[in-house]
Structure 1
Amino acid sequence: MAQTTAAHSPVAPASPAASAHDLTKVYGVDEAQVRALDGVSVDLQRGEFTAIMGPSGSGKSTLMHCLAALDTPSSGAVAVDGTPLQGLNDTRLTALRREKIGFVFQAFNLIPTLTAQENILLPLDLAGRKPEQTWFDTVVDAVGLRPRLGHRPSELSGGQQQRVACARALVSRPAIVFADEPTGNLDSTSSAEVMAFLRRSVDDFGQTIVMVTHDPVAAAYTDRILFLADGRIVDELRDPDRDTVLERMRRLQPAPVPPPAG
């Protein structure tokens, strides 16, 4: 009797936490037209920490805003956690941002009249969801904020405020967190604390983070850097360190324009 062997179906790879395909974004018309994104395609894999870098005007913030459903591309496709964004109405986009995406901004964006704990839980309150106490405790202890939970933002340092913002971004267990210059308003010590927490959230909690930054020290905490210039991805770096980031950034700076002849 012939022996049969069961066929093993290959395991399909997990879909990216977010992706863009042939993304363009055009502002203005005619002579005033600016092409902020020019055919960008990228997959942002789950459990990775990605930085987006580039010279001023390269399109890095526009790319993040389109990926985070904060702006609408002129053409191309964006998906977050497997959900295509095109065709979603405002209500469904708002729900997707609330349920699938966490945000950390340079300016912290905390509510001044709320305590640190109330600010952290705000996304869940707005969604009508109760926090998972174990996960809340894990996040709070990871950012070292337990003694400060009853304090309002004005009673916290800049670094503590940004750690509140990081905890707020993670407490709902989003598919992806977008961080826009999260260390831009912080001193070097506070920056290191925030970046260490973001790194730990990837390594220990499996979080996916995408960060726009101009800081090579912050970028060195990431797994992958995408370099933009003139609205296009022009380079990529894996396992970066500060010196390599600086060298790549120098390549992207436009050559100085010589002064006109006298």
Structure 2
Amino acid sequence: MTTAETLPGASGSGGDSAVAARGRQVTKSYGTEETRVVALDAVDVDIVRGQFTAIMGPSGSGKSTLMHCLAGLDTVTSGRIWIGETEVTGLKDKQLTRLRRDQIGFIFQAYNLLPTLNAIENITLPMDIAGRKPDQAWLTTVVETVGLGSRLKHRPTQLSGGQQQRVAVARALAARPDIIFGDEPTGNLDSRAGAEILGFLRRSVDDLGQTIVMVTHDPVAASYADRVLYLADGRIVDDMADPTAEQVLERMATFDARGRTS
């Protein structure tokens, strides 16, 4: 069994600098005794820095739970998790809030934009709350990457769904987090707008060196990733590099077949 103690710099360190997030023997369960449900079952996972990782699996497989635990949005029942060199498990609430604010970006289906603020104000809001001034050169690069240059003074109600999600992507990128987590970030978009957002995420990895972890059920979305992790029954059961939509669809079909025969 691989444990954190066997890793380099194990005395409170995540170890490998090429790893943006790491989990060891991560278990998450709900309930007790007869009512106990295991959402994650002793998962070991490394998220490589500077890569786009997709997490897939059938409903109830634990994919969203894994992302939420890695991102510090949910606690684990047992096991250890690091973001970079910082162990997330065991942090106090204030420390965890600071870690999420300073080192992690989030993109969700719901855009979570404030209707009274325009696009650029929504993008810089987390930094404004933290009392940090944005790096103007970086902010310009991010805005150009997501193609929002002409829409920065528009409020959310004046933007399409795809444009609102671009604002959410830019907001996640603007603070230069160590890692960005996305939970079905294109789930509320049509195929064209979804492809645009996925293209922006791909470019942020290729051109800006970002690390992204995305939960998705969509084989086309997963094909934008460098790597796809497949979960079933709370465990990682496959790890596919350089996926195509066809390969992902074929792999997901095996889960469907298993479900029909179980």
TM-score, normalized by length of structure 1?
Answer: 0.92
Say which of 40, 44, 49 aligns to 1:37.
Answer: 40
SS of corresponding position for 1:147: coil
Deviation track 1:168-212 (CA, whole Å, cap 9, x = no partner) reads 000000000000001100001100100000000000011000000
2: CA distance between counterparts of 1:160 and 1:168? 12
> What per-residue deviation string (whole Å, max 9, x for no partner) do you get for residues 84-136 of structure 1?
01221000000000000000001111111111111100110111100111111
Query: Residue 150 of structure 1: which of 141, 150, 153 is its match?
Result: 153
Q: Tell whether 2:259 aligns with 1:255.
A: yes
Amino acid at match of 1:165: A
Residue 257 of structure 1 deviates from its aligned partner by 5.7
In 1, Cα distance between the equivalents of 2:261 and 2:40?
A: 24
Identity of aligned residues (%): 63
Secondary structure, in 3 states, of the residue corresponding to 2:98?
A: helix
The partner residue of 1:233 within 201, 223, 236 is 236
- Which of the residues 78, 82, 99 maps onto 1:79? 82
Residue 82 of structure 1, CA deviation: 1.1
Count of residues paired in the alignment:
247
State the partner residue of 1:118. Answer: 121
How many angstroms apart in 2 are the aligned matches of 1:51 and 1:104? Answer: 14
Deviation of the 1:15 alpha carbon: 4.2
Question: Unpaired segments of 5 or more residues in structure 2?
Answer: 1-14
Of structures 1 and 2, the larger Rg is shown by 1
Contact 1:15 / 1:82 at 8 angstroms: preserved in 2? Answer: no
Offset, 1:29: 1.8
Q: CA deviation at 1:167?
A: 0.2
CA distance in 2, matches of 1:219, 1:129: 34
SS at match of 1:148: coil
Q: CA RMSD in A?
A: 1.2
2:218 equivalent to 1:219:
no
Post-superposition offset of 1:256: 2.0
* Map of 1:94 onto structure 2: 97
SS at match of 2:19: coil
**Matched residue SS, 1:195:** helix
In 1: Cα distance, 2:89 partner to 2:182 partner: 23
Which residue of 2 is the match for residue 108 of structure 1?
111
Q: Distance in 1 between matches of 2:235 and 2:16?
A: 27
